[in-house]
Amino acid sequence: MLDYLLTEEQIMVRDLARKVAREKALPKRAEWDETGEFPWEALKAFSDADLCGLYIPEELGGFGQSVFNFCLATEEISRVCGGVGVTFAASALGSTPILLFGTDEQKKKYMPPIAKGTKLAAFGLTEANAGSDAAGIETVAKKDGDYFIINGTKQWITNGGEAETYTVIAMTDKSKGPRGATAFIVEKGTPGFTFGKKENKMGIRCSATRELVFQDCKVHKSQVLGREGMGFIVAMKTLDLTRPGIGAQAVGIAQGALDEAIKYARERVQFGKPISSLQAIQHMLADMATSVEAARALVYATARMIDAGHKDYTLPASEAKLFASDTAMKVTIDAIQVLGGYGYMKEYPVEKMARDAKITQIYEGTNQIQRNQIGLALIKESAQKK
Amino acid sequence: MDIIVCIKQVPDTTEVKINPETNTLIREGVPSIINPFDENAVEAALVLKEKHGGKVTVITMGPPQAAEALKATIAMGADEMVLVSDRAFAGSDTWATSYTLSQAIKKLGNFDLILCGKQAIDGDTAQVGPGIAEWLGIPQVTFAVKLEADPANKKVKVERMLEEINEIVEAPFPCVVTAVKQMNIPRLPSLKGMMRAKKAEVKILSAQDIEADPKNLGLNGSPTSVVRIFTPPPRGGGEVLTGEAGEIVGKLIGKIKDRKII
Ligand SMILES: Cc1cc2nc3c(=O)[nH]c(=O)nc-3n(C[C@H](O)[C@H](O)[C@H](O)COP(=O)(O)OP(=O)(O)OC[C@H]3O[C@@H](n4cnc5c(N)ncnc54)[C@H](O)[C@@H]3O)c2cc1C
Ligand SMILES: Cc1cc2nc3c(=O)[nH]c(=O)nc-3n(C[C@H](O)[C@H](O)[C@H](O)COP(=O)(O)OP(=O)(O)OC[C@H]3O[C@@H](n4cnc5c(N)ncnc54)[C@H](O)[C@@H]3O)c2cc1C
């Protein structure tokens, strides 16, 4: 493995996340995958281990605002279970808007319990008719004195129903187009705010994916994040910052599948010898390992760049998400191939890993959208040089 | 409540091998862990602290590297750690070990409760906890599966796990309680705990510091000599006498006489 010259503290974070995930999520992952039970048990263990506030400053109860540490933990957790990994990471997605755009008051009110892990957060942008084209959202927030009245439905919101704190993007002025959207913090339990049914999914099955339903839901103007009209800026800046986290999920899932493939190849005997002695298998493992390491290097380098204070990281963040998630998909499918028919069976974890991997190519911007964004950035960069 | 927990660093027996010639553990190159029962004792202490306040001090007698085991308990949430370490302690048996620990505990001063594991997974004697209680002249309650403290009335209520029954007893502060593994699930370390452990200072006590009588220390102070180590055969089922009371008593006396006990 490449030596990423981790500091003592980073090694501590990585090893602790690995230990907690192995002790608390590994024994349950197959059951949770089958039943779709929400992994509160694992989340409680991450909370007890102080792993929930890695991306949050100390003064807000976190461990010091490090995207890198957050990626290390997300990777280790996802290596064991992609469903638990996204549940852990989606709380960061839901609370990053508050960290980036919240007032001191909003931060002090909402961040400490999220940092401690006693409350989860969620991020509500997508709707039935607005996926990749987020500007097409139809949820409205109509001003009414000191309040806004929200109406509409958000779809496929991770941690929906389980989280206490929601960041929701709604149109406050349709006539202004994308400049007419506003981000709100909405608390669970606010009258007029309910949840749709839990979706039955292909993978990450223990994570909760639900509709957020707003019917004349009244929120005070103090719940606005940033300023009115900044909704899409809040959303885009948030996604830029959390995309390396999706990369880390993907690297973790891929590494988990690679671990299983290597272990199995050494044990499985055909034609009188372990299949690991076959060049065909070795080459497959070599390609898997090389792409996992390349993906990890890209994710880590991006996270380090962000932590070092660079402002313009949209491009590497997209590249990291794109490459790591495509890698996860390929590596998990190849892991099934290494395990042959056993890999196709639920007794072995690799088929689940492949089902879990797929989502990383879809959410937080599909990989087609990432390519669009990378392509545009390249052309812009080139044009600026002339 | 102020609680002292005695922990022992032991070889990870899942990794350990036996030397076929001497029948002893090959300790070289085997990773060390905290004796698992002692983790139960630490957990029990932390639960009591969370409920009643106070301080948890963890103590071990061992070589300098045993500090790692102490630090792991700070990462779990213990407050202070004490390493009782001196070349003079080398070769201690359970007599000398419990003497040394009791001297160190006297030196530490005030405490309401001492928690130990039921036994160490390497030495396996289950004698050190009771030994400490004897040296200190305080009550001992072994094999605790449940432990409640009542600091206002200065006593503990303990459920002891015996072979066929559980027994509930009370004991006054201060006393020694030894923990079985069914007592709880020890918590994992936390990140903040690990950071604290990294910076925390290990208090080291030497033979001189604990004002120990040299003739009770180490190999010289250890009356035990190990002749052979073996697993005893399980106890037989015994014989049940039936019939009328008078009849049974008669049979019983007969059997006792047969064996020339009376
Ligand atoms: C399990 C799960 C969890 C989710 N969690 C959240 C959440 O917590 N919060 C949230 O807000 N959303 C969430 N989403 C929504 C997710 O972000 C969207 O599904 C995603 O952005 C894609 O939108 P869509 O599914 O409507 O696909 P569409 O936008 O309808 O896309 C369909 C296909 O067309 C392609 N396509 C669309 N537009 C273009 C284009 N311009 N160029 C090239 N290709 C294009 C896409 O790449 C895709 O292949 C979640 C989704 C899932 C499935
Ligand atoms: C004749 C003899 C010679 C020995 N010579 C050596 C030797 O040269 N080197 C060597 O390393 N070992 C030696 N040992 C082993 C060592 O002395 C014992 O392991 C030790 O006395 C503890 O006994 P135990 O392991 O049976 O613990 P138990 O009595 O089974 O342990 C019960 C509990 O007591 C506490 N406890 C036990 N030991 C300690 C400790 N050191 N610090 C703090 N708390 C503790 C723990 O809470 C533990 O759960 C020797 C043992 C004998 C019998």
Q: Domain locations in chain B?
A: 2-216
Residues of B with CB under 8 A from a CB of A: 187-195, 198
The beta strands (E) that lie in A203-323 are given as 209-220, 224-225, 269-270, 273-274
Cβ of B216 closer than 6 Å to ligand 2, yes or no, is no
Task: Give chain B positions within 8 Å (CB) of A10.
Answer: none
Q: What is the average pLDDT across A45-50?
A: 97
The answer to whether the CB atoms of A12 and B191 lie below 8 A apart is yes
Mean pLDDT of A3-25: 97
Give the H/E segment covering residue B234. Answer: none
- A8 has pLDDT over 70: yes
Percent of chain A with pLDDT over 90: 98
What is the distance in angstroms between the CA of the first residue and the CA of the last residue of chain A? Answer: 41
Chain A residue closest in CA terms to B196: A9
Instruction: Give how far A351 is from chain B: nearest CA, Å.
Output: 30
Strands (E), A188-243: 193-195, 209-220, 224-225
Give the pLDDT score at B24. Answer: 67
- Strands in B155-161's sheet, in edge-to-edge order, are B166-172, B155-161, B140-150, B175-179, B113-117, B2-6, B55-61, B80-84, B203-205
pLDDT digits over A266-315, tens only?
A: 999 999 999 999 999 999 999 999 999 999 999 999 999 999 999 999 99
User: A318-340, pLDDT tens digit by residue?
Assistant: 999 999 999 999 999 999 999 99
Q: Of the candidates A182, A180, A160, A156, which has an alpha carbon nearest to the alpha carbon of residue A170?
A: A182
**Amino acid code (one letter) for B56:** V
Rounded to 5 degrees, φ, ψ at B36 are -55, -40
CB within 8 Å: B191 and A16: yes
Cα B16 to chain center, whole Å? Answer: 21
C-alpha A52/C-alpha A371 separation (Å) is 31
Distances from the Cα of B228 to the Cαs of A6, A221, A337, B122, in angstroms?
49, 80, 54, 15
Whole-number pLDDT of residue B31: 87
Could you give the CA distance from residue A20 to residue A26 in angstroms, rounded to a whole number? Answer: 9
The ranges of chain B with pLDDT < 50 are: none
Give the span between the Cα atoms of B4 and A220, in whole angstroms.
52
Class for the domain spanning A233-385: mainly alpha
Banded pLDDT at A20 (limits 50, 70, 90): very high
Q: Domain A8-120 has what CATH class?
A: mainly alpha
User: Does the beta carbon of A372 lie inside 6 Å of ligand 1?
Assistant: yes
**Contact by Cβ (8 Å): A49, B188:** yes
How distant, in Å, are the alpha carbons of A88, A142, A324, B25 from that of B109?
A: 45, 68, 58, 36
What residues does CATH 1.20.140.10 cover in chain A? Answer: 233-385
Q: Which of B168, B173, B124, B122 is nearest to B145 (CA)?
A: B168
Listed in order, the ranges of chain A carrying CATH 1.10.540.10 are: 8-120
How high is the pLDDT of residue B23? 66
Euclidean distance between CA atoms A261 and A304, whole angstroms: 30
Looking at this protein, which amino acid is placed at residue A234? V
What digits encode the pLDDT tens for the residues A154-190?
999 999 999 999 999 999 999 999 999 999 999 999 9
pLDDT in tens, B232-246: 888 777 888 888 999
Q: Which fold has domain A122-229?
A: Butyryl-CoA Dehydrogenase, subunit A; domain 2 (2.40.110)
* ipTM of the shown complex: 0.81
The residue whose C-alpha atom lies closest to atom 37 belonging to ligand 1 is A132
* H/E stretch holding B141: strand B140-150
Interstrand relation of B32-34 and B175-179 (parallel, antiparallel or unpaired): unpaired
**CA angle, A142 then A144 then A146, to 5°:** 120
B147 and B1 Cβ atoms separated by less than 8 Å: no
| pTM of the shown model | 0.87
Determine the pLDDT at residue A338.
Answer: 98
Query: Token pair of A9, please?
Result: 């503290």
Q: Which residue of A has its CA nearest to B194?
A: A12
Domain B2-216: CATH class, spelled out: alpha beta
Residues A23, B192: C-beta atoms closer than 8 Å: no
